[in-house]
Amino acid sequence: MFSTLADWALGVLRTGGPLGLAAVMLVENLFPPIPSEGVLPFAGYLVGLGDLGFATALLAATAGSTVGALALYAVGRWGGRPMVLRWHPLFRLTERDLDRADEWFDRKGGRIVLFGRMVRSCAAPSRSPPARPRCPCACSPR
């Protein structure tokens, strides 16, 4: 499976260039099974070969990741709890799970977002709760 993912990522980066990198980083934010750790080394490889500029790769990866994070934020902000409850089988969440998450976020909000981004397995789940109406887009640790 890794070789398939690796071949796919390298192919997207080679054919799509900076736009391909931005698109993969955007999708990585929305669908956690695609790890940025599996894509960015290939971008670095192409930078090393001279096929992709360093600044261009940096900007493309940052832009794609930011747009993806903002898209997930928007889903949480405007879809919110009703959307999660409607699609709960897909998210594997119950109303009780959401209540517990809300209580936890009320107590530790900004820290969850800050540290959740640093721990790979917590990165995706830490993006949507801040989108609740009480938290601005630029959520900072309290």
Residue 20 located in a structural domain = yes
Q: What angle in degrees, to the nearest 10, is found between the helix axes of 2-30 and 54-74?
A: 60
Average pLDDT in the 35-59 region? Answer: 90
Residue 139 located in a structural domain = no
Residue 7 located in a structural domain = yes
Number of structural domains (the chain) is: 1
Q: Answer yes or no: is pLDDT of 11 > 50.
A: yes
Range of the domain at 13: 2-93
Q: Answer yes or no: is pLDDT of 45 > 60.
A: yes
Average pLDDT in the 126-132 region? Answer: 51
Q: Please, which pLDDT band fits residue 61 given cuts at 50, 70 and 90?
A: very high
Of the candidates 26, 90, 22, 93, the one whose C-alpha atom is nearest the C-alpha of residue 60 is: 22
Q: Answer yes or no: is pLDDT of 101 > 70.
A: yes
